[in-house]
Structure 1
Amino acid sequence: MRFSTVPASFGHSDCERIADGALAQPVLTVTSLAYVAAGMVVLWWAVRGRAPLAWAAAVVLVAVGVGSVAFHGPQPSWAKVAHDVPIIAVGVVYAAVLVRSRRAQWRSTWAVSAGVFALGLVAYAAGRSGSPLCRPDSLWQYHGAWHVLSAAAAGCAVRAIAPPSERGQDQ
């Protein structure tokens, strides 16, 4: 059962076969919730550290998750916009996080985030429909791994703006 008519190309570049049902791409829908979970963790850090930029990061991560669930799940007509706009917002917020976290002792936080994100980019490439690793009917979806890894990287990166006392470090 579909909730609305969407373009035929909607979600077809992400390997998982489009199913007829409430969730067009069930694995990718479920893994999209990793962004919501990361956003909630970041929100917890924002509240504890009274960090306004972390609040912004939390909001955009949750928005990415909600948009991604809509895009891969019920696929309403507005899902592509709800999927794409928060991704742009994440780029803007995390560019601000990078500028704000220039302190040398926070480099390790960025190194871990960058490493996890790099693995995520590999999974993203492997999860494209044209990839030789694409298995449309598999429960293992590389694009789903991209969701989880990029959400984890974003959650880790925001720790770079947490006050040193929150991170267990001296100033």
Structure 2
Amino acid sequence: MVNPTALLTARVRAQDGPGCELVQDGFLAEPVSAWTSLAFVVAGVVVLVRARREGHRAHDADTSDHRPSARPHPLAGYAALVAAVGIGSFVQHGPDPVWSDLAHDLPLLVVLAYVGADAAADLTGRRPAWWWWAGPTLALVPLILLAPRAGDLAQVGVAVVAVALTVRRAVIRPRQRRRIATALALLAVGGTVGTLSRAGWPLCDPSSPLQGHAVWHVLAATALVVLAPTIGLSSHPPPRARR
């Protein structure tokens, strides 16, 4: 039987958070959301392994120079950031220390800024500099700490810009359109399910083992894996449009 007091606590807490999962005593406050957060860690590992495999294939195909490249693969940083999203989310949904908001929001903000900066570099034909994504992220840290609601809105703004730039990238990269469309569709479905699962919304059931926010974790992590091959395309000129 569900403890009515715990259920009420879960609903109150859900008003301030993304989900409505029943809050548990112990190390994991929201077990389902905590464990599914690790989908981002798995996604980061998958991206890194695939990038290394592609790097080895490219190296084997290049018979003119067998020296290893000193330049790090652009997906290495991306993979690390994606994994960091999972760690930060696990911290918030698990032990939930006082600094959990920063642990959760900062990696997600960095990933959004990174994707947007990479798309902007592709659109302008330039290599992205680290400050393209680090600058906006650092500028928003005080907002996340001092005004969490405003920080959430700022993240939405960064997400909108990143999506717009990525859609524009699909225009100049016809071969990447299906991949980008698939990634955005996964994010859209995950975001819809997550939103409808907030406290007071139709899909919210605090005692259910199937949580909408957990679904968001899995679909968002999958979308980042699908999107990964588009990262770093600024080093390759886009195909010329047919006249």
Q: TM-score, normalised by structure 2?
A: 0.59
CA drift at 1:137 = 0.7
Aligned to 1:76: 97
- Bigger Rg over Cα: 2
* Corresponding residue of 2:125: none
Residue 24 of structure 1 is aligned with which of 23, 29, 40?
Answer: 29
Distance 2:106 2:17 in 1: 19
Match of 1:140 in 2: 210
Distance (whole Å) between structure 2 residues aligned to residue 153 and residue 97 of structure 1? 16
Q: Which moved more, 1:108-117 or 1:122-131?
A: 122-131
Alignment partner of 1:44 out of 40, 45, 49 = 49
> Who is 2:143 aligned against?
none
For residues 185 and 99 of structure 2, the distance between their equivalents in structure 1, rounded to whole angstroms, comes to: 33
Aligned to 1:109: 179
Q: What is the alpha-carbon root mean square deviation over aligned residues? A: 2.1
Q: Deviations over 1:94-153 (max 9, x none)?
A: 113434364221111101111111111111212212212100010000000000001100
Q: CA deviation at 1:91?
A: 0.5
Unaligned residue ranges in structure 2 (runs of 5+):
1-11, 56-71, 123-168, 234-243
Residue 230 of structure 2 is aligned to residue 160 of structure 1: yes
Do the aligned partners of 1:45 and 1:54 also contact (CA within 8 Å) in 2? no
Equivalent in the alignment of 1:59: 80
Take 1:95 and 1:45, find their aligned partners in 2: how far apart are those partners?
A: 22
| Amino acid corresponding to residue 48 of structure 1 in structure 2 | R
In 2, Cα distance between equivalents of 1:14 and 1:64: 17
- Tell me, which stretches of 5 or more residues in structure 1 are unaligned? 1-7, 164-171
Paired residues in the alignment total 156
Give the equivalent residue in structure 1 for 2:219. 149
Partners of 2:174 and 2:202 lie apart in 1 by 41
TM-score for both structures, normalised by structure 1: 0.82
- Once the two structures are TM-superposed, the CA of residue 12 in structure 1 deviates from its matched residue by 4.2
Identical amino acids, percent of aligned pairs: 37
CA contact (8 A) 1:49 1:162 kept: no
Distance 1:132 1:119 in 2: 16
